[in-house]
Amino acid sequence: MALALAHGNAVVLIRQSAFERSGIARNSIDERYNLTADEFRVEDGLIMLGPLPSDDILPSLIDDLEQSGLVYFDDFFELSGNWPEWLTLYARGPKTQRT
C-alpha cells in the first residue's frame, strides 16, 4: 500500500533495506527528532519520516542519515511538502527490492 504524503511539511523517504543495513535504531530517531508513531511509518519496503514537526530539523536529519552511511538520493530522499493542499501525493517502494 502506498504512503500518503502530507502537504505543508517536509517528509523523508528511506529505502527500508538501506535503513536496516545502516544499523540506525528507530528509537534514536524518534527521540532525537521528537517523532510520534504516526511520523515513522513503514510500508512495502519504504520508510517515511514525517511530516516532520519543523523544516528546521531537516538539515540535521539528512546529516545524521549520511553519517550513518546512507546516500542521499540512492537510499533516501526528502520532499519539502511544498505542494498545494488540493493535491494528494503517494509514495511506495518498488515491487522488487534492490539491495
Tell me the pLDDT tens digit for each residue of 34-49.
Answer: 888 888 999 888 999 9
The pTM of the full predicted model, rounded to 2 decimals, is 0.87
Segments making up each domain of the chain, as ranges: 3-82
State the Cα–Cα distance between residues 67 and 83, nearest whole angstrom: 29
- Domain covering 3-82: architecture: 2-Layer Sandwich (3.30)
What mean pLDDT do residues 76-85 have? 91
As a whole number of Å, the CA-based R_g of the chain is 13
What mean pLDDT do residues 65-81 have? 94
Q: How far apart are the first and last CA of the chain?
A: 20
Report the relative pairing of strands 76-79 and 11-15 from DSSP bridges. antiparallel
